[in-house]
Amino acid sequence: MLFELPKEVREGLQRARKRDLGRKNRLRMHAGDEVYPILRLWDGGLSLDAETAPHIPGFIDIYDGSRQLYQCLVVCSSVEGGERIYEFKRQTAAVERPPLDFYLDEDAPVALLT
């Protein structure tokens, strides 16, 4: 049997779902000096709360707590179900040290003794 829930109940369920997503998730989007909690993250994009999310295309950083995960170029694509959807144009994994511009042999000595 299919039935339609009252509007107030649907809105209450949607608010509770967004609140629970935000509590479980430590992921944050940093856009300049602003920080926004990420509701969902997938291979091609991310979603934020539509009420607080900015409508910005541009470079962002994605953090898990204090650890940077990605540097991304995003484009805002749509708003669905109270979530603002951003798509990645570019997604680069953040590394802790700069990449080497030479080959490092696995058997190379750690230090030279004289």
Locate the domains of the chain by residue range: 7-93
pLDDT in tens, 24-69: 668 899 988 889 989 888 999 999 888 888 888 889 999 988 899 9
Continuous segment of H or E residues that includes residue 72 = strand 67-80
Identity of the highest mean pLDDT range in 1-5, 39-43, 76-80: 39-43
Q: Which residues contact 53 (CB under 8 A, 6 or more apart)?
A: 36, 84
HEC-encoded secondary structure of 22-59? HHHCCEEEEECCEEEEEEEEECCEEEEECCCCCCCCEE
* pTM to 2 decimal places: 0.67
Give the model's pLDDT for residue 1: 46
pLDDT in tens, 16-25: 776 665 556 6
- % pLDDT > 70, the chain: 90
For residues 61 and 2, which has the higher predicted lDDT (pLDDT)?
A: 61
CA distance 29 to 39: 10
Quote helix, strand, coil % in the chain, to nearest 5: 15, 45, 40
Give the model's pLDDT for residue 46: 92
The topology (CATH level 3) of 7-93 is Thrombin, subunit H (2.40.10)
For residue 60, the cross-strand partners are 72
